[in-house]
Amino acid sequence: MTQRKKTTLLLVHCSYTKATQDIGVDEIRQWHTLPRPKGNGWSDVGYNLIVRRDGTLEHGRDIEAIGAHAKGYNSVSVGVCLVGGMSADEKPLFNFTQTQLTTLKHVLDYLTEKYPDAEVKGHRDLPNSHKPCPCFDVAAWYGQE
């Protein structure tokens, strides 16, 4: 995989799955690598890191590799995905566990130290996103706003 030359964004996403769906990197990798139209047809999982419902941190693409998680921003960002973000009736919902949020805080602390010039944002905060992902204001939650 191609390595990023610089990192200016730490982007938080959600898998847009229900709270009852305990998935991780293996399932997301399958979704991302299946050929179109059932999947994305990518070479690997798009995210660098995935936080499962129980707070377990799983590694997707290498932390220095260019991801496939935010069109137009992949070459300058690390993608972190929280599992969840969808209600039972398939609407956006902040349904993340406290354990997930604790893991996310630790991950962002590590990443902001590793990439001190990087800004923390949610996927929804990008100009071309048109998505509610990850269903909350990440920068305000993390205290960067």
pLDDT tens for the chain, 145 residues: list them.
899 999 999 999 999 999 999 999 999 999 999 888 888 888 899 999 999 999 999 999 999 999 999 999 999 999 999 999 999 999 999 999 999 999 999 999 999 999 999 999 999 999 988 889 999 999 999 997 6
70 belongs to a structural domain: yes
Please give the positions annotated as active site.
Answer: 13, 47, 123, 131, 133
Contact 16, 86 (CB under 8 A): yes
Helix ranges, 1-144 (H): 25-33, 98-114, 138-142
Structure tokens at 46: 């798009």
pTM of the predicted protein model? 0.95
> Could you give the 3-state DSSP secondary structure of residue 62?
coil
82 belongs to a structural domain: yes
Give the total number of structural domains in the chain: 1
Owning domain of residue 98: 9-140
- Vertex 133: Cα angle to 128 and 136 (nearest 5): 115
